[in-house]
């Protein structure tokens, strides 16, 4: 047998072993006009087995809960989600043999709902007008009503969320840039990515700038991101760790995801577009630097959205 085939067959993976170590992609065409000494990179988080960055904190939350005896085979994992975290929970629940119940806004995209149902998750729909905050309130109510049979994962307040990114994402960014990273840009939803990866990067080099990205208004179309001034602020969020806050308009993010698809060949979700809008704003101010941002997921769960063709192209 060919030695290469033998090596491939010998290297077997579990589902959990595929989480993390995602590629870091240098952006070339959308960065035209920047100083030649400014580099912009994105972590391609759709390479995780569940298709998003949320595989990292979901796995960490599950592992820590099992180690502490909080999540047992006779309990149901419950949490509020806008989609990606729920998909990660449902995937691991199916693989590990526990039930998953998710509260999700009723206006979540049909693609996300379809994936969750395919994994066998139990869905509870919350008021679409209340967004992620409405889902959080309903999850809290359900958890309080049956604490004996429910493990409330509580991604917005569970420190295992940011610890996942401290252990993996921040370390990967440092290693993949050879320690040259100068700015780290991430969207604020639960805030786990920026809080965890940011802490790790600051431990390596305190001069690295951490930039948080959020919508510019309470009512927005940036799925997964929070307008912190008007939303329920996650318990794991520490604004004092953030060097700079930037806001992005929904329309800017929509335009950017179209540009990424058509100019870079990267088919990404809305929060990725928002992150890059902010990263490029930072990049235009620099003469030199290495900027890394996070593209949380691909665009496949958003195909039913109109913005893909709102620019008149079919």
**Residue 127: exposed, middle, or buried by beta-carbon count in 10 A (0-12, 13-18, 19+)?**
middle
Identify any residues that bridge with 215 across adjacent strands, giving them in sequence order: 248
Secondary structure in 3-state letters for 73-112: CCCEEEEECCCHHHHHHHHHHHHHCCEEEEEEECCCCHHH
Asked whether the beta carbons of 291 and 35 are under 8 A apart, the reply is: no
Tokens encoding 6: 């033998």
| 54 classed as catalytic | yes
Phi, psi (deg, nearest 5) at residue 295: -100, 100
Distance, in Å, from the CA atom of 57 to the CA atom of 59, rounded to the nearest integer, reads 5
Identify any residues that bridge with 40 across adjacent strands, giving them in sequence order: 291
Question: Per the residue annotation, which of 52, 271, 298, 301 is the catalytic one?
Answer: 271
Enter the DSSP assignment of 117: H
Asked whether the beta carbons of 242 and 198 are under 8 A apart, the reply is: yes
| 68 classed as catalytic | no
Question: Per the residue annotation, which of 43, 52, 54, 75 is the catalytic one?
Answer: 54
Active site positions, annotated? 54, 271
């Amino acid at each position: 047998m060919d030695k290469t085939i033998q090596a491939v067959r010998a290297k077997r993976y579990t589902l959990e072993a595929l989480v993390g170590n995602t590629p870091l992609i240098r952006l070339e065409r959308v960065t035209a006009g920047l100083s030649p000494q400014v580099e912009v990179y994105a972590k391609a988080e759709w390479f995780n087995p569940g298709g998003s960055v949320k595989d990292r904190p979901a796995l960490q939350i599950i592992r820590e809960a099992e180690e502490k005896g909080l999540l047992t085979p006779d309990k149901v994992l419950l949490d509020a989600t806008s989609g990606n975290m729920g998909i990660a929970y449902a995937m691991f629940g199916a693989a590990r043999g526990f039930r998953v119940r998710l509260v999700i806004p009723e206006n979540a995209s049909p693609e996300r709902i379809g994936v969750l149902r395919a994994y066998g998750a139990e869905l509870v729909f919350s008021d679409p007008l209340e967004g992620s905050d409405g889902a959080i309130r309903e999850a809290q109510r359900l958890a309080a009503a049956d604490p004996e049979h429910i493990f409330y994962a509580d991604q917005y307040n569970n420190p295992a969320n940011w610890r996942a990114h401290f252990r993996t994402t921040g370390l990967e960014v440092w290693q993949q840039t050879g320690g040259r990273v100068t700015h780290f840009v991430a969207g604020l939803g639960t805030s786990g990515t920026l809080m965890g990866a940011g802490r790790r990067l600051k431990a390596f080099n305190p001069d690295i700038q951490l930039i948080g990205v959020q919508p510019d208004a309470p009512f927005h179309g940036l799925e997964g991101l929070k307008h912190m001034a008007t939303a329920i602020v996650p318990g794991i969020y520490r604004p004092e760790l953030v060097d700079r806050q930037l806001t992005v308009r929904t329309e800017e993010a929509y335009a950017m995801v179209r540009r990424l698809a058509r100019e870079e060949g990267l088919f990404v979700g809305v929060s990725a577009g928002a992150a890059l809008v902010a990263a490029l704003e930072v990049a235009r101010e620099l003469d030199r630097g290495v900027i890394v941002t996070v593209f949380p997921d691909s665009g496949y769960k958003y195909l039913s959205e109109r913005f893909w063709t709102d620019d008149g192209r079919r």
